[in-house]
């Protein structure tokens, strides 16, 4: 019964917006002056489509499902209404934002702090890979907004004394489909059990899946759907290409493309952590400034990689799908799908790292003899036939020798790295976390024994 209403509401909303396209400012949407000033300082002059749709409804206190392509200002669409409500009724632990990846959590917290700097908003980022003690201290200070990945949040809800979300007013799930796809379902269910029923819930994502629809019934009350793009969309200013090549020449073609488009900044997506690391070493051996980002790196290294790339100290970022969601790095010029994504929806997120906020960009997908079917699925999903990226095969083949040499070095380095890791693990008794702790304990125990003997 609710479905036709929901489906009807997004079609009603856009029409007035088209007429007053010029006059729409954040103030017209009902955002308070303090926050309008904050938006001006951030250089947000006029709201994006999704913000025009979602903010007024959110300020009325409705539950929202926001569908918009990546790079369309989704974070602002939920951050502004939350901060607006927070100004009206200040309280601690006011909102919870759930995200699928740690980097995205840090980015959302930066946006909250930038928007709320004038009103003194405090945020806490609760993600894995970082010392949980310092997080417990941050939670003890009771921040206004908690931005978390589901696993670590559950950990704190169960183990950190005095931390609960019983007073929560807002729940946001950013990239909701990914949270549910990454097998966070049990965690999300647990979180939904410990937070109040009487709250506002926003689901935001670039792609909608069956699981999100299932969750919507569980978590949302009479939601309004704000769909800026109902079809799976990639941005118009993105030029998408593909290259059809034998898989054994993948590395060579990658080097060729990096040479051809030199001077741009690249994001290269690989399917596994191992391949990411290998390709990064390979490119470094050939003198490119490449830097990896994947799930097997420690959190500080991951943030370090990201910051180096953001600061343009490195021009090539090699990443797994950890980085395909929501990360806003303004200056990415080219996205290369070195390994084709197995889920065609991930393609949209990956190429959404470039051509953001009205800029243009390129994406190039490597299709080997084994990827044809996956590639056709992607074309079918976005409803476009992609053109071939022009390459000079004879020039590519001239690179083969140097690339083969670099591959050998990369493999050797990887092997050495793997052996080092094994050694440290064996020394630490197979437990990474307690490495330091165990050493200390042994020493202390040894000390006591010696004293006793002396007696």
Q: How far apart are CA 349 and CA 35, in angstroms?
A: 29
* DSSP per-residue codes, 168-179: --EEEEETHHHH
Domain, as residue range, for 400: 238-415
Q: Are residues 245 and 284 in the same domain?
A: yes
Q: Are residues 104 and 213 in the same domain?
A: yes
At 337, is the secondary structure helix, strand, or coil? strand
Q: Is residue 431 part of a domain?
A: no
User: How much is the pLDDT for 451?
Assistant: 44
> How far from chain centre, in Å, is Cα 408?
33
**Number of compact structural domains in the chain:** 2
Q: Are residues 123 and 214 in the same domain?
A: yes
Q: What is the mean pLDDT of each run of 10 residues along the chain (455 residues)?
A: 39 40 75 89 84 88 81 84 91 91 87 88 90 89 92 89 89 82 78 88 78 68 74 71 92 93 90 91 92 87 87 89 72 90 83 76 92 90 89 90 92 87 64 41 43 46
User: How much is the pLDDT for 232?
Assistant: 56
Instruction: Look at residues 74, 350, 19, 29 and name the one whose alpha carbon lies nearest to residue 227.
Output: 74
Quote the tokens at residue 104. 């995205």
CB atoms within 10 A of CB 154: 18
Where are the extended beta strands (E) located within 245-296? 266-269, 290-293
Q: Are residues 212 and 273 in the same domain?
A: no
Q: Are residues 391 and 367 in the same domain?
A: yes
Q: Is residue 42 part of a domain?
A: yes
Q: Are residues 201 and 276 in the same domain?
A: no
User: How much is the pLDDT for 95?
Assistant: 93
User: How much is the pLDDT for 229?
Assistant: 62
Q: Are residues 271 and 183 in the same domain?
A: no
Q: Are residues 283 and 407 in the same domain?
A: yes
Q: Are residues 168 and 273 in the same domain?
A: no
User: How much is the pLDDT for 1?
Assistant: 39
Instruction: Look at residues 64, 358, 134, 368 and name the one whose alpha carbon lies nearest to residue 235.
Output: 358
User: How much is the pLDDT for 354?
Assistant: 81
* DSSP per-residue codes, 101-145: SHHHHHHHHHHHHHHTGGGT--EEEE-TTS-HHHHHHHHHT--SE
Q: Is residue 398 part of a domain?
A: yes
User: Exposure string (b/e) for 171-187, b if CB count within 10 Å is 16 or more?
Assistant: bbbbbbbbbbbbebeeb
User: How much is the pLDDT for 438?
Assistant: 41
Q: Are residues 202 and 304 in the same domain?
A: no
CATH number where 24 lies = 3.40.50.300
Q: Is residue 357 part of a domain?
A: yes
Q: Are residues 180 and 243 in the same domain?
A: no
């Amino acid at each position: 019964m609710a479905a036709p209403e929901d489906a009807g509401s997004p079609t009603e909303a856009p029409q007035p917006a088209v007429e007053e396209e010029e006059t729409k400012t954040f103030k017209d949407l009902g955002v308070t002056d303090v926050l309008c000033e904050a938006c001006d300082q951030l250089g947000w002059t006029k709201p994006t489509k999704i913000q025009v749709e979602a903010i007024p409804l959110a300020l009325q206190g409705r539950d929202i499902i926001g569908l918009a392509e990546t790079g369309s200002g989704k974070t602002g669409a939920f951050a502004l209404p939350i901060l607006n409500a927070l100004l009206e009724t200040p309280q601690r632990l006011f909102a919870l934002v759930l995200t699928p990846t740690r980097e995205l959590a840090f980015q959302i917290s930066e946006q909250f702090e930038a928007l709320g700097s004038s009103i003194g908003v405090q945020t806490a980022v609760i993600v894995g890979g970082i010392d949980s003690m310092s997080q417990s201290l941050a939670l003890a200070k009771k921040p206004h907004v908690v931005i978390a990945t589901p696993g670590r949040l559950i950990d704190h809800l169960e183990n950190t004394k005095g931390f609960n979300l019983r007073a929560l007013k807002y729940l946001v799930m950013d990239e909701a489909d990914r949270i549910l796809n990454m097998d966070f379902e049990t965690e999300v269910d647990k979180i939904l059990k410990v937070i109040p029923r009487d709250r506002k819930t926003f689901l935001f994502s670039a792609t909608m899946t069956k699981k999100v629809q299932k969750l919507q019934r569980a978590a949302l009350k009479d939601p309004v759907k704000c769909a800026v793009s109902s079809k799976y969309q990639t941005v118009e200013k993105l030029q998408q290409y593909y290259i059809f090549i034998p898989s054994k020449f993948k590395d060579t073609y990658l080097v060729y493309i990096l040479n051809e488009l030199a001077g741009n900044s690249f994001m290269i997506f690989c399917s596994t952590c191992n391949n990411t690391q290998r390709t990064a070493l390979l490119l470094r051996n050939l003198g490119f400034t490449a830097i990896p980002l994947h799930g097997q790196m420690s959190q500080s290294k991951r943030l370090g990689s990201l910051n180096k790339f953001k600061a343009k100290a490195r021009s090539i970022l090699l990443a797994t799908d950890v980085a395909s969601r929501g990360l806003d790095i303004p200056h990415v010029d080219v996205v290369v799908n070195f390994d084709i994504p197995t889920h065609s929806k991930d393609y949209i997120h990956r190429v959404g790292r470039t051509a953001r906020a009205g800029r243009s960009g390129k994406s190039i997908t490597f299709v080997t003899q084994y990827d044809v079917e996956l590639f056709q699925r992607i074309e079918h999903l976005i409803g476009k036939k992609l053109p071939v990226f022009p390459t000079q095969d004879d020039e590519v083949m001239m690179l083969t020798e140097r690339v083969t040499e670099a591959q050998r070095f990369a493999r050797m380095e990887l092997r050495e790295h793997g052996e080092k890791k094994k050694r440290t693990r064996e020394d630490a008794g197979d437990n990474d976390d307690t490495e330091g702790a165990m050493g200390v304990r042994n020493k202390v125990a040894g000390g006591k024994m010696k004293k006793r003997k002396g007696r």
